[in-house]
Amino acid sequence: MDGGLVLLLLAGGAFTAWWWLGQARERADDAASQACREVHVQRLDASVVLDSVGLVRRDGALLPVLRYAFEFSVDGVDRRRGLVGLEGTRPAWTRLELPEGALHLDLAASGRPGAS
C-alpha cells in the first residue's frame, strides 16, 4: 500500500474519531445540564470530562460506552460529582452524588429527547 494512502486513511480515521467524540461530549453535556435542572442543583464549570471508555453488547452488536464526569453544587458552596453514561452517542443514565445518597436517573427508559 502506498505511504500517502496510509497517511490519508489514518488522518481520516483520526478526524472521524475526533468528530464522533465531540458529538458524544455535547450530548453528555446536555444530559448533565438537564439532570441538574430537574434536581434543582447548580451545575459548575459547564463542562464534562471523559472518565472512562468501554464496550457493551446490545442486540448482538458492540457499542462503545463512554462515561463523562461533571461537577455540581447543592448549596452553592460544596462541589459534588456527577456522571453521565452514554452508549454510542446516546445518553443512557445520569448519576448525581447528593447529600442524601446517590441518585441514578435512567435516561434510556425515560423517553427523553436524545435518549434511546
Q: Write the pLDDT tens digit of every residue in 63-83.
A: 999 999 999 999 989 999 999
- Grid cell locating 89: 452517542
Model-wide pTM > 0.85: no
Where residue 111 falls among pLDDT bands split at 50, 70, 90?
low
- What is the dihedral sign for C-alpha 88, 86, 66, 89? positive
pLDDT at 109 over 80: no
What value does the CA radius of gyration of the chain take, rounded to a whole number of Å? 17
C-alpha to C-alpha distances, 6 to 2, 12, 53, nearest whole angstrom: 6, 10, 26
pLDDT at 29 over 50: yes
Q: What range does the domain containing 97 cover?
A: 3-106
- Domain presence at residue 116: no
Q: Quick one: average pLDDT of 24-29?
A: 95
Q: Quick one: average pLDDT of 1-7?
A: 84
- Domain presence at residue 111: no
CA–CA separation, 64 and 96 (whole Å): 22
Number of structural domains (the chain) is 1
pLDDT at 113 over 60: no
